[in-house]
Every structure is written in structure tokens, then in C-alpha cells.
Structure 1
């Protein structure tokens, strides 16, 4: 007999106090089962409003085990849709047809409403739940501040900043489809009259221009330089930097293991003196202390004085056996 029912029950009991608090805060999006640290490696189970979202990264679930998961949680909340994404194949890609879509639903986190779709043209969920602690920080610290949200994805941080009363919000992302979800999130939260912008741009061109750094690009012989959106130099009260592990464009390479300063330096220079830079690193193999040392050295070379560093850790629905969470969030006071 599978041990899954017992593991699910243990995870549910551990979350009782947290979920009571989250429900009081108008949150119905959270992790129900974090398999890496709860006995079933590679299995994650999330709630997104009325959607039960199941993913496997090591090996697929049997039909029996998937039914066990659904039966366990259907007694805890109304499930309109169950989405199962098996991502155990190479490169962690979803195994079903790319065109397969799920329902348009909504979920809430800390009173903010978000579009929920478990299956869409991309691979990842539209809202990363371990980043809740970062969005909570933004909700608490952005009133009357100008905010720059870099690698904004579906603009959750920007939506929180506008909801908190930021004076202006810039969301910058390369993918128009991500920004489109952000625009929909803005409408869901009735933010149309707020100063919130959705800017489709390569990170390096946008961040460097804002920081006053010359933009360079790789141009092969016989090719013309690629055009890019022109922006004026500008600094913000709060900058949120949440880069992917690795990405390459004609204007630069994002590499959180080998070259974090390439994304950190322009972000530092785009932050006002006396402002706040929130930066992240989601690579498990990068130790927190080593990453902080890199941040400090980069800030020194960039001529920016870091007066204080606060570390934010994912909330209790993302348990860690050793306290070393893959997602690391540093809040720098400049």
C-alpha cells in the first residue's frame, strides 16, 4: 500500500496554524505538499483558489496516487479543476501537448487577486508561491514610492506595489505574454487608474539605460545591430530584481551561478540613494553566505554603500530540513 495518504495527512496537520493565518489574510493560494522535504521527492501540490495543482519532477504519479491526492484535498476546499503536470522528462518540460490549456480561474494572496491557469503556453505556474514573502514585503513598504520590477514575469510584485499605493510602477519583462497576464491582474484588482506600466524589453537594455550604463550587443559580421526600446536614465525608490537561473540574449547573459554581478550592478545603479533593492537567487547550489559576499563586493565596485541587508525566507508552507531554501531573497538598504 502506498504511504502517500499518511504523508499528505502529516503535511496537512503541519500547516494548520499557517493556513488559518493565511485564510484570515484573504489568501487561498499556497503549497499543500512540498515533496522534497515531506517524504515524496519531486512531488509538489499547490492550491490556487479552486484549482488543485499537482506537479511531478522525478517520476510520474500513478492514476491511483493521483486519485489519492484529489480525494485527500477535496474534503478541505472546493476543487473546480485538478491540473496534473508531469515534468519528469529531460529539461523539466511538461509532457502533455503544449496547446493543452486549463480553465481561467482566479486566486487570492494577501487580498490581491491573480489569474490562475495551470496549463498554458508556458511551463511554470503564473504565480510562484514561494515568493509570497517578497510580495508581502512589497505590500508593506511601497506606499508613495516609485517601484521598478525587473524580470517581472506576470507582474505579481508590481501589482502588489500598485495595490500598496506606490506613486509609480514599472514592470519590465521580455515576454509580451507574461506582461499580458500582468495587465489582466491589474484589471482584476481595479488598478487601471494607477500609474502602472508594462514594458516589453530585454533586461540588459532597460536596466542599463536606467542606470546610465552604455548598452552593448553582440553583432555578427554582416548583420545590423538590433533595435531596442529607448529609455531615459532614471532611479527608483524600490527596485525588485528576480532573475531566472540562466538566459541569453543579444545584449547579455543572465547566469546566477557564474555572473550575478551582471544583473546586480545595473539594478544597484537604478536604485536611489536611500532606496531599497530587493534581489533574489533561486539556485539551490549557490550558498547564501557566498551569494551575500558577491552582492557586497559588487556594490563596493559599483560605488554603492549597502547600509543594511535583511534576508527573507519562504513561509512555512515551503519547509526546509536544513534552513537552506533554494530561493534566497536579500533586501538591501542603500
Structure 2
């Protein structure tokens, strides 16, 4: 499909775009939600003072030239830099539309600050769409023991510690991600620290150790949809869920998450029903308003269960 900038302006109300007045990460345009026909191939995030643009396919040159010129005219005074990542190429290469790529960019989320990595990795170390889940955790973490499976850069852990969690266990195979997690905790100091653990292990082979560290009051399960050689949601999610009853007491809260567009909410519900039958479904957490989705089953799914 040939993309046309005038059509884009009309469809997205581009002239009305505004950066959020309050400090905080913002999705300025969410093409991936399939709500803007023909323009599903890119997203734009605002991390004050940076615009971060991700392309999932190569755009038509004429459209892209017009769009970039309009974007710069509209936001160059407020944003010191705009960086484009070409997610469609294997290297996830990036370049600056204006300004420069600095090492000091942070994502602000309410009172939290998170380190961003714009060095060329596919993921930048922060998932904005998980903000409602972190808010959910912050509301109930005080004095509780939290297990953070697939912790990545430990954003959930930061939210839990800020809320006064008694202890937090973060586990992820990636040592570099956990190192960033430690830095994220340093960026968010607290007067009374939680007991923190950072475990670099394969979760599927670590149940014995986790059970010794438990029981936990809250369990966060946010695995990748598919990670070559280590995890595939279709085959492996059930291996996680069947362990939940041994990790939490009655009354424990579970947050199961899945961002696979090809697996809907019914997939998670069926896995929980079969492999953790004692858990009761409480609710599905609503997504952010700036992540509009045409199909809720293709969107990020975050389900709250209680044992």
C-alpha cells in the first residue's frame, strides 16, 4: 500500500498532536495497534526531551521525507533530538533526524526513572505499555514478598520497592538486563530499601531455588512470546503456570502477561484453568489510552488471578 502524507495528516489529526504537559513517557503515535490503515508500520514515543521513532518496515521515500519535515517543524523546539530505529533490518540500526544520540536519556514514569539503551539493541530497556501493570503492583506491594519472573531491567521491581515491598526476587537469563535493573534501582532510591535479589538463571530450571526463597505474596509473570532456544509461549507457558501453586499461599496475587498478537486472552485463560485450577480470575488490566488497539486479543494481555 502506498502511503500518502496528506492522508496520514487527516487520519491521525497530526495538526493536533501535542506533547504531554506533565513529565512522563508518552506514545505519540501507535501505528502497531492497527487503528490507522496503511500506517501500521511505525510508532513514536516521547521521552523528554527525545522523540524515539521505530520503523517496522521501510517507508516510501516521498511519504517519509514529508513526514520527517513536518515532525521536525512541529517538535524541534521542544525535543532536542529525534532518533529513528529501523527495526526491519537485522542490526536494528538507528539514525538521528535531528540532535544527537546521547547515553543519558531516561524514561520518566510518574515518580520512577528508567535507563534507556539506544545503542542499537532491538529493545531499549523499557516497555511503556506495562505502566498500568506497574501501577497495579504499586497499589498492593507494601509489606509483601514479590517474585518477578522474566524481570528484564527490573521495572516491576522498582515499582514494588518504591511501594514498600518487604522483598523482591528478580530472575532473568540476561545478566546485562539485570545489571541495568540494578542501575534502575539506583536511579530510584528509597528511604527504606526492600530485600532485593537478582538471579541470572533459566527460570524453567530454577524452581527448586525459587521455592526455597518463597513463598511469595505476589507473582509477576511476563515472559517473551518467543525467544529462540529458551522460551516459546505456546509450549512453555504451561510449564510456568503449573508451578504457581507451590510458590504462593492461598490469597496470593498473580499477574500473567502475554504480548503475542497471535495468542488471545483465551489462551492464557485456558492455561491457567488447566494448570493452576485453584486460581480465580479477577480482571484484565486496561491498557494505556495512548496505545489504541483495534483488536484486544492482539494487544498486550495482562490478567490478574488470585489463589
TM-score normalised by L of structure 2: 0.85
Q: Is the 8 A contact 2:164 2:192 kept in 1?
A: no
After the TM superposition, which residues 36-185 of structure 1 pair with which residues of structure 2 at under 5 Å, given as runs?
Answer: 36-39=34-37, 40-60=39-59, 62-74=64-76, 78-89=78-89, 93-95=91-93, 102-117=102-117, 119-120=118-119, 122-185=121-184
Farther-moved stretch of structure 1 (37-46 vs 100-109): 100-109
CA distance in 1, matches of 2:160, 2:16: 31
Alpha-carbon deviation of 1:294?
A: 1.9
1:292–1:164: structure 2 CA closer, same or farther, 3 Å change rule?
same
Alpha-carbon deviation of 1:325?
A: 4.3
Q: Is the 8 A contact 1:113 1:188 kept in 2?
A: yes
CA distance in 2, matches of 1:277, 1:152: 15
Q: Aligned to 2:248, which of 268, 271, 280?
A: 271
CA distance in 2, matches of 1:207, 1:135: 24
Q: Provide structure 2 residue ranges, at least 5 long, that are not aligned to the other structure.
A: none
User: What is the RMSD computed on CA atoms of the aligned residues?
Assistant: 2.6
Farther-moved stretch of structure 1 (47-56 vs 121-130): 121-130
1:143–1:199: structure 2 CA closer, same or farther, 3 Å change rule?
same
Asked if 1:246 is matched to 2:226, the reply is yes
Alpha-carbon deviation of 1:188?
A: 0.9
1:140 alignment partner, SS class: helix
Alpha-carbon deviation of 1:124?
A: 0.7
Deviation per CA, 1:248-268, whole angstroms, max 9, x where unpaired?
55xxx4211234201222244
1:209 alignment partner, SS class: helix
Aligned residues: 292
TM-score normalised by L of structure 1: 0.79
Q: Which residue of 2 aligns with 1:306?
A: 279
Q: Is the 8 A contact 2:81 2:101 kept in 1?
A: no
Alpha-carbon deviation of 1:68?
A: 2.5
Deviation per CA, 1:50-105, whole angstroms, max 9, x where unpaired?
11100010224634422323333346xx3232211011236xx51359xx974322
Q: Is the 8 A contact 1:50 1:107 kept in 2?
A: no
After the TM superposition, which residues 249-328 of structure 1 pair with which residues of structure 2 at under 5 Å, given as runs?
Answer: 253-300=230-277, 305-328=278-301
Q: Is the 8 A contact 1:155 1:179 kept in 2?
A: yes
Asked if 1:9 is matched to 2:18, the reply is no
